[in-house]
Amino acid sequence: MAKVSTDRARQAGQTAKQEASATAGQARQGAGAVVGTAAEQVGAVTGEARAQAGAMAGDLRARVTEEADHQARRGAQVMRQWADDLSGLVDGADADTPAKSLVAQVADRGHRAADYLDSRGVGGLVGDLEDFARRRPGAFLGGAVLAGIAVGRLAKAGSKANGSGPGPDERPGTPGPGSLPEDAAPPQLPGREA
């Protein structure tokens, strides 16, 4: 009887071992399936994020281009108006003078520049600038320096006109009207001691 119970215990142990092995195999298969599904989901989310980022970048690029073209059209309208005003001055002038000829040339160039901006837009302007920079880099850099100096002077003149810079009779670092000399003590309020 002891032998029979030992054999049964051994068979039960083997059966339990086989079932545990089968359960572990199923668990491994299940874990592998979960990992595969998770990897697919991560890939799908990553692909969707890339697609959305690309769409957003394209939308932003289109909006910037549209705004730049709108500003170029506005600039062309203003330039055309100035050229028309100059042409009116030339038409109203009495004598044929060098000044009249110069103003007529400026008006003509203004009309041509406005037509260029209307027809080519910002993209054409940028493309032409790139071509010029490749063909004549020295002239392009020189023009960029001159344009930078002109913009700096305009900004400086604008800041003086707005009152943010020193006045015409003031030098930077000197006391302005109403300021105290450096060695003067500030006024004391009554009832307070320094």
* Tens-place pLDDT, residues 102-122: 888 999 999 998 998 888 888
Whether the pLDDT of residue 141 is over 90: the answer is yes
Instruction: Indicate the residue type of 148.
Output: G
pTM of the model: 0.46
Q: What does the pLDDT read at residue 72? A: 85
Whether the pLDDT of residue 6 is over 50: the answer is yes
Going by C-beta distance under 8 Å and a sequence separation of 6 or more, which residues neighbour residue 180? 186
Token pair for 121: 């837009």
Mean pLDDT within 46-73? 87
Flag whether 18 is in a domain: yes
Flag whether 184 is in a domain: no
CB count within 10 Å of CB 23 equals: 10
Total domain count for the chain? 1
Mean pLDDT within 29-48? 84
Residue 6: give the domain boundaries.
Answer: 2-161
Beta-carbon-side half-sphere exposure of residue 140 (alpha carbons within 13 Å): 11
Flag whether 39 is in a domain: yes
pLDDT > 90: percent of the chain: 18
SS3 129: helix
Q: What span, in angstroms and rounded, lies between the C-alpha atoms of 175 and 179?
A: 6
